[in-house]
Amino acid sequence: MLTDQQILRIPGPSPIPPSVSRAMTQPMIGHRGQSTSEMLADIRPKLKRVFGTAQEVLILTASGTAGLEAAVVNAVAPDDEVLVIVSGAFGERFADICRTYNIQTHIIETEWGKAATVSGITGALEAHPNIKAVFMTYCETSTGVLNPVEKLAAEIRGKSEAMIIVDGVSCVGGVETKMDEWGLDIVVSGSQKAFMLPAGLAFIGVSERAWNKIEANLQPRFYLDLKKHRDNLIKDTTPFTPALSLLFGLQKTLELMEEEGLGTVYARHELLMKMTRAAFKALGVPLLTVDEDASPTVTAVKPADFEAEVLRNVLKEEFAMEVAGGQKVLANKIFRIGHMGYCSPADLLQAIAAIEIAIVKAGREIELGSGVRAAQQEYLKGANR
Ligand SMILES: *Cc1c(COP(=O)(O)O)cnc(C)c1O
């Protein structure tokens, strides 16, 4: 095995393009200088396009979870009642953050591996008419589900004035997001998933309606006060020292995404999802989710007759390839393949070929190559590109 090779096929952190790595090694600059302002001026409109918003997308030096916490402390007042749609571990995290701030938190939970439904929300909104904010996860990374955010948001908008707050950490940048058109109030993402960067930046899009609420909200916050970040960002600066190296990288990844074309980026993720799913179907290894609920950024596989952990170990030991395991109730039951950000069809064919070997080593008989072939066929179907 090549001792310095790492093949990361987990749902974040994800691989980093060489040109982005190089951009991040630029010599340090002063964060109050002209170069930093110019860099932020270049980043701002591009980031807005990825979020599908005309509003400012704030950039915090923080992991994605701080972005989620910022959404809670800015948009929810201490006495507010909120609803959290839980479809996996990250939905639970949103609920945990709300409870930490003693916010009255209602939950609707879908079975892990299934998408949230509109009908579930209708009932919850009718039962709790005072709900001021609804939290949801766009891609539920723990199960590989892409929740139907557009439909859920339309239902909430039709039934209440509640703010719609979305955790898009593991898919914004890889999946189309139309924050303004869908009526989303806060959308959070992070740098280490579809944005092809190391961890360390949280991105937060905020609607005009949410700003009104934030301005009036007495909940204490300091670093996470989004007003400070907005008031500075619109002047192409930051309230505190930003992670400049990550900003060098962000400027480059946004440039790469625009060069490829955002529509093409999203189509590539779709194709990667289809190739992955076709492979496991051909191999007869069950997927956790149905096609309609599947995320273009991560696929969860639920083997019936071999151990997911054995497969993961073979991949790690023999190919230096990492796929993720299951979280919480899905621990040891599934493995998850990340295909977000810097991932090409060729990368995926490599992963599937290695996974086939690991399946055999985990004790399951398969016809070698049948998964790869199915993925190749899927590629050819989708590849009049
Ligand atoms: C990765 C992830 C997060 C954030 O995780 P951090 O480790 O705090 O960056 C939040 N939500 C989802 C859906 C994620 O996939």
Any idea which residue has 């110019």 for tokens?
38
Asked if the structure places residue 124 within a domain, the reply is yes
Atom of ligand 1 nearest to the CA of 68: 10
Measured in angstroms, how far is the CA atom of residue 193 from the centroid of ligand 1? 8
For the CA of 66, the nearest atom of ligand 1: 8
| Site to substitute for ligand 1 among 135, 167, 172, most atoms within 8 A of C-beta | 167
Establish if 1 belongs to a structural domain.
no
> Atom of ligand 1 at shortest distance to CA of 192?
9
What pLDDT, on a 0 to 100 scale, did the predictor assign at position 130?
97
Q: Do 298 and 252 share a structural domain?
A: no
Q: Are residues 84 and 195 in the same domain?
A: yes
Q: Quick: pLDDT tens for 186-233.
A: 999 999 999 999 999 999 999 999 999 999 999 999 999 999 999 999
Closest Cα to atom 9, ligand 1: which residue? 64
| 172 located within any domain | yes
The verdict on residue 86 lying in a domain is yes
- What domain range is 173 assigned to? 18-259
C-alpha 50 – ligand 1 centre gap (Å): 18
| Residue 12 Cβ contacting ligand 1 at under 6 Å | yes
> Which is it for strands 186-190 and 163-167: parallel, antiparallel or unpaired?
parallel
On whether both 233 and 267 belong to a single domain, the answer is: no
**Within-domain flag for 2:** no
User: Is residue 64 within 6 Å of ligand 1 at its C-beta?
Assistant: yes
Q: What distance, in Å, lies between the first and last C-alpha atoms of the chain?
A: 35
For ligand 1, whether the C-beta of 170 sits within 6 Å is yes
* Angle formed at CA 20 by CA 17 and CA 23, multiple of 5 degrees: 155
The dihedral of CA 297, 375, 257, 10: what is its sign?
A: positive
Distances (CA, A) of 203 to 98, 166, 247, 315, 376: 19, 12, 12, 33, 35
Are 208 and 344 part of one and the same domain?
no
Instruction: Verify that 200 and 277 share a domain, yes or no.
Output: no
Alpha-carbon Rg for the chain, nearest whole angstrom, is 21
The residue whose C-alpha atom lies closest to atom 4 belonging to ligand 1 is: 64
Probe residue for ligand 1, chosen from 86, 169, 197, 246 as the CB with the greatest number of ligand atoms within 8 Å: 169
Pair (254, 273) in one structural domain? no
Domain boundary among 259, 291, 320: 259
Residues 89 and 121 in one domain: yes
Which three-class secondary structure state does DSSP give residue 221? coil
Answer yes or no: do 215 and 107 share one domain. yes
Q: Percentage of residues in the chain with pLDDT exceeding 70?
A: 99
Q: Based on the domain organization, do 289 and 215 belong to the same domain?
A: no
Residue 385 has pLDDT above 90, yes or no: no
Tally of domains within the chain: 2
Tell me the average pLDDT of the chain: 97
144 and 228 belong to one structural domain: yes
If asked whether residues 170 and 243 sit together in one domain, one would say: yes
Res 383: pLDDT: 62
| Dist CA 291 CA 273 (whole Å) | 9
Q: What CATH number corresponds to the domain at position 309?
A: 3.90.1150.10
Other CB atoms closer than 10 Å to residue 290's CB: what's the count? 12
Residues flagged as binding site: 336
Tell me the per-residue pLDDT of 271-297, one tens digit each, with 9 for 90 and over.
999 999 999 999 999 999 999 999 999
pLDDT of residue 105: 98
Residues 235 and 217 in one domain: yes
Please name every residue paired with 202 in a beta bridge, in sequence order, or none if there are none: 60, 190
The closest alpha carbon to 70, from 191, 227, 211, 225, belongs to: 225
- pLDDT tens for residues 33-71? 999 999 999 999 999 999 999 999 999 999 999 999 999
Specify the DSSP class assigned to residue 328.
Answer: G
Spell out the residues 6+ positions from residue 152 whose beta carbon is closer than 8 angstroms to its own. 85, 116, 118, 121, 134, 136, 164
Q: Helix 370-382 and helix 262-283: axis angle, to 10°?
A: 150
Determine if ligand 1 sits within 6 Å of the CB of residue 168. Answer: no
User: Residue with the nearest Cα to atom 3 of ligand 1?
Assistant: 64
pLDDT tens, residue by residue, 108-166 = 999 999 999 999 999 999 999 999 999 999 999 999 999 999 999 999 999 999 999 99
Can you tell me the distance from the alpha carbon of 206 to that of 82, in angstroms, rounded to the nearest whole number? 18
